[in-house]
Amino acid sequence: MPWTSHQYNQHFAAELARLKGDGRYRTFAVLERLCGEFPYALMHGPEGAKKVVVWCSNDYLGMGQHPSVLQAMKEAVETWGAGAGGTRNIGGTAWIHTKLEQELAAWHGKQTALLFQSGYAANETTLATLIRLMPGCAVFSDVGNHASMIAGMRGYQHKHIFAHNDGTDLERLLAATDAAKPKLIACESVYSMDGSIAPLPAIADLARKYGALTYLDEVHAVGLYGPTGAGVAEQMGVSDRFDVIEGTFGKAFGLAGGYIAGAATVIDAIRSHAPGFIFTTSMPPVVAAGALASLNVIKTAHDLRARQQRQAQRLREKLIAAGLPVLRCETHIVPLMIGGAHCCKGVSDWLFENAAIYVQPINYPTVPVGEERLRLTPSPLHTDAMIDELVDALDYLWTQQHLPRQMVA
Ligand code: PLP
């Protein structure tokens, strides 16, 4: 018997019921970001809109409301209109795309860069294409790599997963692989769910020793680390030892879109072969103009970076002093470990209802089951008073609900 529409509906309803039963059903907070008032936003709920302090934004520096970015975008829309008009191949390569690519390449100390509609698209299509262009290539991927990198390697048979940030495990796998094979090591610099930083110099050393190409996702680091904000590789002085650097405009740039930067031949090969670049409408020029303006601010945004680090450190110290289960790390990301999807959502709901604070619960599959958390991202625009209010609210809730206060290493 062929399936009826009723059967299809029942099938998907059962799937959703399973998610809800596990506490993993995603509800989206409907926010109205208030230009000029970040990190405040209006959050729409059944009882109308309420002004909240947002503690989980990836607009890490508040660049989404920076006057230079807004001005550049206003001028761009007046000059060039709304969309790009096509794929890069068919009428959709704008002057501002090529200008932005040149600036990004120079910023990372690379020959060329290439824009994508998102960091996800950049990772997925670049990794899949690199693998396709190097038959028999052995791929080495950190177990904590983002879903977009995993998607680019999905189903690939010569894939080796190394323990998180573990150079010893990576070397074990490299040493066990045929020396004559092409190799590709893929990792991130800042891991966004645990706030850890990869041992980039050690990974670069291994790549040299075993003759591997290196692919580095700096999505959570561009704008935030290094003397000009070009990322952790710049900060550690190893940019030249990573063949492809991938970044996004969706986090510290305050916009949306992604890119890769590298040697002219590698980037040209991706430009010429990657379906996720070729067969899609290019980035609206207005977004590219905003990204270029953001880049120009970011290069010298030392004060914003310093204040962001200060606020992250301050929040971390206050949470630790209150005995709250913060995961120890050195970056701008402050994970508060809760464990249990229902409890994590309960804490998030309570903060919204009682303290006008919005922080999204992070559940499986973004993190493993049992490691559910709140991922706090203080920006330079979060004040000391906001930090105090957040910690006081959490401290009160932990006491009231007898939640565990054990520290997490
Ligand atoms: N890489 C990492 C490590 C990410 O965390 C994300 C998104 O959160 C992406 C890539 C995708 O970037 P985008 O949001 O620009 O698609």
Average pLDDT over residues 230-250: 98
Ligand 1 pocket test, candidate residues 56, 120, 220, 224, most atoms within 8 A of CB: 120
- Report which ligand 1 atom has the smallest distance to the Cα of 250: 15
pLDDT for res 23: 76
Tell me the two tokens of residue 231: 């990322």
Task: Specify whether the backbone of 340 is left (phi greater than 0), alpha (psi in -120 to 50) or beta.
Answer: left
Helices (H), 178-279: 200-210, 232-236, 264-273, 275-278
pLDDT for res 409: 54
Average pLDDT over residues 126-131: 98
Ligand 1 pocket test, candidate residues 57, 123, 196, 333, most atoms within 8 A of CB: 123
pLDDT digits 0-9 by tens, 59-110: 999 999 999 999 999 999 999 999 999 999 999 999 999 999 999 999 999 9
The pTM for the full model equals: 0.96
| 349 confidence band (pLDDT: 50, 70, 90) | very high
Phi and psi at residue 154, in whole multiples of 5°? -55, 130
Q: How far is CA 377 from the centre of its chain?
A: 12
Average pLDDT, the chain: 96
Residues 270-284 as b or e (16 or more Cβ within 10 Å = b)? bbebbebbbeeebbb
pLDDT for res 224: 98
Q: Residue 48: which H helix or E strand, with range?
A: strand 48-54
pLDDT for res 221: 98
Q: Ligand 1: residues whose CB is within 6 Å?
A: 118-120, 123, 146, 148, 188, 192, 217, 219-220, 248, 250, 258
Three-state secondary structure of 336-373: EECCCHHHHHHHHHHHHHHHCEECCEECCCCCCCCCCE
SS3 content of the chain, % helix, strand, coil (to 5): 45, 20, 40
pLDDT of 407 higher than 70:
no
| 340 confidence band (pLDDT: 50, 70, 90) | confident
Reduced to 3 states (helix: H, G, I; strand: E, B; else coil), residue 220 is coil
Residues 6+ apart with CB under 8 A from 230: 107, 108, 109, 218, 222, 239
pLDDT digits 0-9 by tens, 134-163: 999 999 999 999 999 999 999 999 999 999
209: annotated active-site residue: no
| Cα 136 to averaged position of ligand 1 atoms, centre (Å) | 27
Tell me the two tokens of residue 197: 């930083």
Residue nearest to atom 13 of ligand 1 (CA): 119
pLDDT of 206 higher than 90:
yes
Strand 183-188 with 212-217, pairing: parallel
Angle, vertex CA 344, rays to CA 338 and CA 345, nearest 5: 175
Q: Closest Cα partner for 166 from 185, 138, 192?
A: 185
Phi and psi at residue 36, in whole multiples of 5°? 95, -10
Q: How far is CA 110 from the centre of its chain?
A: 22
Helices (H), 216-299: 232-236, 264-273, 275-278, 285-298
Reduced to 3 states (helix: H, G, I; strand: E, B; else coil), residue 278 is helix
Helix axes 341-355, 384-401, angle to 10 degrees: 120
Label residue 103 exposed, middle or buried (CB < 10 Å: 0-12, 13-18, 19+). Answer: middle
Strand 183-188 with 159-162, pairing: unpaired
Given the residues 183, 251, 318, 345, select the one marked as catalytic. Answer: 251
pLDDT digits 0-9 by tens, 356-379: 999 999 988 889 999 999 999 999
Average pLDDT over residues 309-318: 97
pLDDT for res 27: 86
pLDDT of 346 higher than 80:
yes
